[in-house]
Structure 1
């Protein structure tokens, strides 16, 4: 026979198979600059190949029998299959311990790798986007699939090994005959041939308590091991994963638009289509298209009303919030800073007086005494406002307002930024008309005054005469027992300038001037102009808050953004706090002196407020009639005014004093005249500005207004009346003051009657049967119904009948029936009183 007969038959055992020993996974690599890459890693488990059935160990050769004689040789019997030699128990135990050790090491490596992977995934999860999280989900799915396949292969291999170990051996002992314990304890070489060696069956796998899902055998990955694995155990390629992720991304993008955000849209009474689109966060073209469908062809720059805007807002699914035009404007009256946020600020001082009394010289002297050497000149003259530092490091802000235009403009707009007024009076010249005008402006503004008696170094200077002349205008200085400080100074010799500054500090301490610097800035425009090279410029005095470069603001009807700020020294600054004057660049136009500058949150808000204020100005200019004696006092009547303001200008001082005395005598308990300013000379721009600030007419006696004053008066609607006879002037003032109180209303009672009985008149009406006791009852007269001397109805008689006939009048002593308009509350015993209303012209 062939040699193959010596080998054991393979059919006696279970068929052999290769278990899947390749396990796949993915590892994400992170590089610099946010780059990353995913690598497919295949882990091949260590495969231990033993002899089939543990019976392939070497066994001793059987002893050959002595060969018989050639003539007596018999046919050779078939060789018996060699019984497999079973391994010793010690060898089996050693191999099991080795396997358990390897499993423990693999388990520890797996757990450490899992812990490291979990930490790495935690770090990546914080930085990963939605796309990266989907990638991680794909990786986990692939790992779970590979792990599940590996577990199934391991389980299947274990079952095959168990079946192979339990297969019957042809050389085993006869059925039912078990080997003895002694034979089991004997070594393999000492056992008889064909002795049965028991095979220990593998123990069933213990439950892993939920950790089996995360088990992943680890091992060193080589090219050989990777190629030895089966193709079906490998995961998808990187290209396939990228295609799958791209497909998921496209599906996510095409899943549909996100839920539309519903907004609360604030809409004033009038708004442009583009501004409405901005507030709705929609495209302006879409709004125009919707308006075209509604039958309203407009462009994005056109203005629509609230009702049309509401239709658009509902069309696009938003909510509308209606506001009035007044709500658009900035309400500074209600914006009050808490007391704990206020901090001391420098005082703002305005120097006023006659131009020939040394006002300019005094300004230069104060400035020159407080600027460091080398700054020669100290300030740029066109600013008109500057700060000086006092010896105690405190600061004072000075305003230069020649002609008082800016001062009265500020007061006309309610922006009184001046804290203290210094009235400059020449000691050798006394009070002049412009000095008196400055006194009146100061009184009207209600700010404290300090009198600076200048030129005391000149011959003929009489300071006491100045103090006595001030008494005529109710200015009582401290030397005469009053409360107004006066300082004798010399701008030329720089005498007593320190005393003047001390008086300013003392007055500022009494006022306790404070402001909040930590808020949006708010200030007043001192003056403004148009520069050819730099555009519109405005000198702004900050009142509260801090103005910074880049702030968006609105000043009157002008909006802008602070591009640069220049201080009084000509230097560019980044911010300006309370009481600091700066020149601001970046306005869209030239504002008016006295306009309030307010910082707002954005450009849209600034444009909105500026547009509203401009519309108010346009409406006043086009609809309001010029102030007159008739229209002005009706407006004052609505405001419960009891004063009649006047500005009087005459040719000589005697005429002016006579006119003022006559006007003051016209006053009574209902109304009194108040002369804001009375001076000698022609009507100037300052007079018109003062009259506009107080809403007063200007009366000129033998004088006229100059061209500039007439232009301003016509523009601002200030009434001017010219007279040359004092009696005509006083009669006109009487009529105007009487017109303010309106006509005299007089009631004349013409009849009284008693209700005797009440009848039904029609379905819902009632008629009263009357007995006329006094006067007469006439149809369509005003009537009052009185019950227990209490008026319960005031109206008119609707119908009057006597014996079923309509009559026009019923005299006393006769009976009649009447019905009243809009009332049926009639009872017997009520009294009816009819009267007539007469309007008479009021006289003083």
Structure 2
């Protein structure tokens, strides 16, 4: 018997898949999603039941009057307005009273002196009298600051730090469901390098953008829209999943659907697995575009099998993941892919209110020599218009001009649409939110507060999770999930470690393995960890130099192990609050093997160039090949020319021998480290 998909039946009945699923939810049909299949007989029965239900509803609706809901809503809004006005008056009184000073939970001595209108040395003198030794650049708490302020006849008001600048200025608000209208979906294309992401985007653009429009594309703005069956779809042209995650790390969730491009002749690759992890961590639905099906070596079934191995079960194999075979070169399957995007978007019921002050996200920003700061904005709520006063982070200004993705001037744009704006005071950060303010004063004040907040945050250390402070954060209720990224030298080790760590779940904390793959720890792994507040565990692998730098900047905890039980014990101890490492590892430097020399006694000496830090005679050495640990041991000899030396610094060459190891090759990396004892 012929089977019918739920979404096909919904299209026939001229309703959304979600509506259909809700209407037949009470009936005894085995339907879990829009991709579920039903028999033709069942489809006919559903049609009859829905016709009968519609007739009954029509009869019931006759003669019904409106309720007093709208009146009630108006009264509630009036009460809120009165309350807001009263708060505003109180706020004005506080601002007018120059004896009252507002500060956060902490304040720098110099800033307190400025607020009190006195010299910093006077503040320091008062602090010494209180037994507090602090210089003008140090922080003091609000209680101490209040005592000092009282000495100068001022009163301190401590502002709640939890109330963000966005909340204080209230530039965004929840919309009434009645005001929401359907909006286009925003799609990000991700996948492995050379699998055809750019070719697929070009094919979509050429297929769906008319010739006259294509001629008008004068600049790359990082986002563009295409028309599909009188509906719009917006594509984000990001450099890859790293950009996708760095935006999410800033708190901007602008993607509705992720297209995962996999080459039919190549298969699921490490970057593909990373892209899957990034999309899942962001909880974005995934559509898989199996590209390059025109190639003779294409094997679609093998791709689907590899997808299953990575927890993406294709819908034609009984799962929920939509897979579409396409060829960007021949432009086949493009229409079906766009149709599936619209279907997933329909299931998500994407809506926004176009009739309000706009809120958007900065996709890209740059400084143009002729035009000044330029920013690509993806509008998420409201309608953005030329002449609007806008603010984004520490940047503000009035919109002088706007250009769409085809380079044409536009006067206004609605939700989900990308546009380039001119008129900001400085270049904003990608991922920052952009708000329309009612007037210039609000915009300037917001930008000023953001600058102050940024300065305070730079002075405080950012609170990223690490094994040392994990137990305290669990006790305080700050952490309920511990996110972990695992990298290892072989897949077997990774799976064994994943399974062992998942068994460490307790009532207080749940262990989540958000990504696992084979190979060295890369910059992309660190960015994913930063966005997901995760720790990175490396088993028999090490981070590359870029990853080490990014981990320091993002303050991500990276742990590397050679013994699987040590990793399990560390996580277990951290969860139970017993982690107290006595011995820690300090990396001294890295060197590259430039040449190898065989000695008459059979030993091999490596000619090395020290890239950073230093290599010492008493340090231990890790030999890395493609960031995977091949050997670990001691230095047998370290020479500069013919002389034995204690250490070799960055930028110098030397000869090195390793104890009981001779398999050194050109291009190998040597990591020098020492083990240090630290107090508990």
TM band (smaller chain): 0.5 to 0.7
Contact 2:172 2:435 in 1 (8 A): no
Give the aligned partner of residue 42 of structure 1: none
Give the aligned partner of residue 355 of structure 1: 193
Could you tell me how far 1:553 is from its partner in structure 2?
2.2
Which of 179, 200, 219 matches 1:341?
179
C-alpha change, 1:333 and 1:585, in structure 2 (3 Å) is closer
Q: Structure 1 or 2: larger strand share?
A: 2
- Structure 1 or 2, whichever has the larger Rg, is 1
Determine if the alignment matches structure 1 residue 398 to structure 2 residue 398: no
Which of 366, 384, 387 matches 2:225?
387
Which of 206, 210, 231 matches 1:368?
206
- Report the Cα distance in structure 2 between the residues aligned to 1:576 and 1:680, rounded to whole angstroms: 45
Could you tell me how far 1:713 is from its partner in structure 2?
2.5
- Report the Cα distance in structure 2 between the residues aligned to 1:440 and 1:563, rounded to whole angstroms: 40
- Report the Cα distance in structure 2 between the residues aligned to 1:655 and 1:414, rounded to whole angstroms: 33
Determine if the alignment matches structure 1 residue 329 to structure 2 residue 141: no
- Report the Cα distance in structure 2 between the residues aligned to 1:621 and 1:268, rounded to whole angstroms: 28
Could you tell me how far 1:490 is from its partner in structure 2?
0.5
Give the aligned partner of residue 685 of structure 1: 523
Contact 1:266 1:321 in 2 (8 A): no
Provide TM-score, normalisation by structure 2: 0.60
Contact 2:467 2:579 in 1 (8 A): no
Secondary structure (helix, strand or coil) at the match of 2:520 reads coil
Could you tell me how far 1:533 is from its partner in structure 2?
3.7
Give the aligned partner of residue 672 of structure 1: 510
C-alpha change, 1:266 and 1:333, in structure 2 (3 Å) is closer
Secondary structure (helix, strand or coil) at the match of 1:560 reads strand
Which of 371, 374, 382 matches 1:537?
374
The CA deviation string for residues 666-718 of structure 1, in whole angstroms up to 9 with x for no partner, is 33454332111112333333222211122111222333334443333222222
The CA deviation string for residues 569-594 of structure 1, in whole angstroms up to 9 with x for no partner, is 11222222101111222333333322
Secondary structure (helix, strand or coil) at the match of 2:573 reads helix
The CA deviation string for residues 480-503 of structure 1, in whole angstroms up to 9 with x for no partner, is 111221111110000011111111
Determine if the alignment matches structure 1 residue 578 to structure 2 residue 578: no
Give the aligned partner of residue 23 of structure 1: none
Q: How does 1:258-269 map to 2 (within 5 A)?
A: 266=92
- Report the Cα distance in structure 2 between the residues aligned to 1:473 and 1:462, rounded to whole angstroms: 17
Could you tell me how far 1:270 is from its partner in structure 2?
13
Q: How does 1:724-743 map to 2 (within 5 A)?
A: 724-739=562-577
Could you tell me how far 1:620 is from its partner in structure 2?
3.0
- Report the Cα distance in structure 2 between the residues aligned to 1:381 and 1:682, rounded to whole angstroms: 37
Could you tell me how far 1:386 is from its partner in structure 2?
0.3
- Report the Cα distance in structure 1 between the residues aligned to 2:92 and 2:514, rounded to whole angstroms: 45
- Report the Cα distance in structure 2 between the residues aligned to 1:268 and 1:683, rounded to whole angstroms: 53
Provide TM-score, normalisation by structure 1: 0.49
Give the aligned partner of residue 538 of structure 2: 700
- Report the Cα distance in structure 2 between the residues aligned to 1:387 and 1:270, rounded to whole angstroms: 49
Contact 1:663 1:673 in 2 (8 A): yes
Secondary structure (helix, strand or coil) at the match of 1:355 reads coil
Determine if the alignment matches structure 1 residue 713 to structure 2 residue 551: yes
Give the aligned partner of residue 480 of structure 1: 317
- Report the Cα distance in structure 2 between the residues aligned to 1:270 and 1:433, rounded to whole angstroms: 60
C-alpha change, 1:592 and 1:405, in structure 2 (3 Å) is farther
Contact 2:184 2:232 in 1 (8 A): yes
Could you tell me how far 1:420 is from its partner in structure 2?
1.1
Determine if the alignment matches structure 1 residue 411 to structure 2 residue 248: yes
Contact 2:260 2:289 in 1 (8 A): yes
Give the aligned partner of residue 603 of structure 1: 440
C-alpha change, 1:682 and 1:741, in structure 2 (3 Å) is closer
Could you tell me how far 1:265 is from its partner in structure 2?
5.3
Q: How does 1:91-240 map to 2 (within 5 A)?
A: none
- Report the Cα distance in structure 1 between the residues aligned to 2:438 and 2:394, rounded to whole angstroms: 17
Give the aligned partner of residue 281 of structure 1: none
The CA deviation string for residues 494-533 of structure 1, in whole angstroms up to 9 with x for no partner, is 0011111111111111112111111111011222233344
Could you tell me how far 1:741 is from its partner in structure 2?
11
The CA deviation string for residues 450-491 of structure 1, in whole angstroms up to 9 with x for no partner, is 111111111121111111211122211110111221111110
- Report the Cα distance in structure 2 between the residues aligned to 1:270 and 1:692, rounded to whole angstroms: 42
C-alpha change, 1:478 and 1:527, in structure 2 (3 Å) is same
Contact 1:568 1:582 in 2 (8 A): yes
Could you tell me how far 1:374 is from its partner in structure 2?
4.5
Which of 414, 427, 434 matches 1:590?
427
- Report the Cα distance in structure 1 between the residues aligned to 2:537 and 2:465, rounded to whole angstroms: 13
- Report the Cα distance in structure 1 between the residues aligned to 2:443 and 2:98, rounded to whole angstroms: 15
- Report the Cα distance in structure 1 between the residues aligned to 2:427 and 2:474, rounded to whole angstroms: 32
Contact 2:573 2:579 in 1 (8 A): no
Give the aligned partner of residue 462 of structure 1: 299
Secondary structure (helix, strand or coil) at the match of 1:402 reads coil
The CA deviation string for residues 576-622 of structure 1, in whole angstroms up to 9 with x for no partner, is 21011112223333333221111122233223323333333333332
Contact 1:650 1:679 in 2 (8 A): yes
Contact 1:268 1:323 in 2 (8 A): no
- Report the Cα distance in structure 2 between the residues aligned to 1:666 and 1:617, rounded to whole angstroms: 38
- Report the Cα distance in structure 2 between the residues aligned to 1:627 and 1:640, rounded to whole angstroms: 10
Contact 1:406 1:594 in 2 (8 A): no
- Report the Cα distance in structure 2 between the residues aligned to 1:567 and 1:375, rounded to whole angstroms: 11
C-alpha change, 1:647 and 1:263, in structure 2 (3 Å) is closer
The CA deviation string for residues 788-843 of structure 1, in whole angstroms up to 9 with x for no partner, is xxxxxxxxxxxxxxxxxxxxxxxxxxxxxxxxxxxxxxxxxxxxxxxxxxxxxxxx
Contact 1:426 1:454 in 2 (8 A): yes
The CA deviation string for residues 245-269 of structure 1, in whole angstroms up to 9 with x for no partner, is xxxxxxxxxxxxxxxxx98654889
- Report the Cα distance in structure 2 between the residues aligned to 1:369 and 1:715, rounded to whole angstroms: 43
- Report the Cα distance in structure 2 between the residues aligned to 1:340 and 1:716, rounded to whole angstroms: 42
- Report the Cα distance in structure 2 between the residues aligned to 1:481 and 1:659, rounded to whole angstroms: 30
- Report the Cα distance in structure 1 between the residues aligned to 2:564 and 2:370, rounded to whole angstroms: 53
Give the aligned partner of residue 395 of structure 2: 558
- Report the Cα distance in structure 1 between the residues aligned to 2:97 and 2:401, rounded to whole angstroms: 31
- Report the Cα distance in structure 2 between the residues aligned to 1:271 and 1:500, rounded to whole angstroms: 62
Secondary structure (helix, strand or coil) at the match of 2:502 reads helix
The CA deviation string for residues 122-150 of structure 1, in whole angstroms up to 9 with x for no partner, is xxxxxxxxxxxxxxxxxxxxxxxxxxxxx
Q: How does 1:25-44 map to 2 (within 5 A)?
A: none
Q: How does 1:471-550 map to 2 (within 5 A)?
A: 471-550=308-387
Could you tell me how far 1:334 is from its partner in structure 2?
7.7
Determine if the alignment matches structure 1 residue 646 to structure 2 residue 484: yes
- Report the Cα distance in structure 2 between the residues aligned to 1:467 and 1:270, rounded to whole angstroms: 67
C-alpha change, 1:333 and 1:355, in structure 2 (3 Å) is farther
- Report the Cα distance in structure 2 between the residues aligned to 1:604 and 1:421, rounded to whole angstroms: 39
- Report the Cα distance in structure 1 between the residues aligned to 2:362 and 2:94, rounded to whole angstroms: 28
Contact 1:550 1:562 in 2 (8 A): yes
Secondary structure (helix, strand or coil) at the match of 2:468 reads helix
Give the aligned partner of residue 832 of structure 1: none
Determine if the alignment matches structure 1 residue 615 to structure 2 residue 457: no
C-alpha change, 1:544 and 1:376, in structure 2 (3 Å) is closer
Give the aligned partner of residue 27 of structure 1: none
Could you tell me how far 1:634 is from its partner in structure 2?
2.5
Q: How does 1:811-830 map to 2 (within 5 A)?
A: none
Contact 1:368 1:377 in 2 (8 A): no
Give the aligned partner of residue 6 of structure 1: none
Structure with bigger RCO (C-alpha 8 Å, 6+ apart): 2
Give the aligned partner of residue 101 of structure 1: none
Contact 2:374 2:422 in 1 (8 A): yes
